[in-house]
Amino acid sequence: LSKSTRKLLKKYFVINHIAIHRQQKSKDGTIKTLIKLFDNLMVESVLIPSANRTTACISSQVGCSFDCKFCATSRIKRMRNLNTDEIYDQVVAIDQQSLHYFGRPISNIVFMGMGEPLLNYRNLISSIDKITKPEGLGISPSRITVSTSGLPKIIMKMADDRVKFRLAVSLHSAIQPIREKIMPFSVKFPLEELAKSLKYWYKKTSKSVTYEYIIWKDINDNEKDISALVNFCKIIPCKVNLIEYNPVQHDEFFQADSEIVKAYQSTLEANRIIVTVRRSRGKDIDAACGQLSNKLVKA
């Protein structure tokens, strides 16, 4: 190619490749992958195997726009959104990893990695469209879950767009002042507005929602917190994942006593609310929920 042609190609066409920078395997089989993007920024993805499924946990931003006190990713300044191809290629890389290590493709995808997916909405939607097409990976939208910290306007937009994937909300408290303490950004997104958006979501899509909920000692571990969660769960059909807390460096949070977790579980069940107590996977390699932190942000 001539020099002038190469200049034109460089100006108008950009080929962005991701690269596997580092992998770590947990004692429980979970694999964390540090992925280098074309500009040397990094994101982390996680492959979580179980007896009947393999789940890819995918990142949508480099760093995060929000300031959740219990999450390691929030300590990384948000550098930028991932583009459509970076998200898609990330899924392909983890799918290949699953085939290599476990002899089967990924069965589920959760957008619960680094970043707030709904703040990268356009690229999120276009990447999911690519993932679900037969010429892509052909994964059913019902096997894809997008987790958000709770952005009412974008939840309503998703409902209007008639998205087919599942919705999870990182809730952690159904009492506004407590939620603001652990998730300071939520002062701008009150629970009342979140509840309205979820009602709208259910009305438009007929899809239930999953609430992700960590219980901490001396923060949300009493009867008032349990009652508030039960009431919030009555807004629309839902299920609750009670999540084991995964400590991060220099934080002030402690896992609640097991008796409190049991009290949450029994009270929710008594109110006919589906509840699961989720045990952490990949904790020994900092791959568990809330631990993704890119030990290296740049190479």
- Side chain identity at 32, as an amino acid letter? K
The shares of helix, strand and coil residues in the chain, as percent rounded to the nearest 5, are 40, 20, 40
Helix 191-205 and helix 152-160, axial crossing angle in degrees, nearest 10:
10
CA distance 273 to 254: 26
Helix (H, G, I), strand (E, B) or coil at 156: helix
Catalytic residues: 44, 289
Report yes or no: 113 and 58 within 8 Å, Cβ to Cβ. yes
Stretch (H or E) spanning 249: none
Nearest C-alpha neighbor of 298 from the set 82, 72, 41, 76? 41
Other C-beta atoms closer than 10 Å to the C-beta of 285 total: 18
CA distance 181 to 32: 30
Alpha-carbon distance values, 79 to 3, 43, 119, 184 (Å): 33, 11, 13, 20
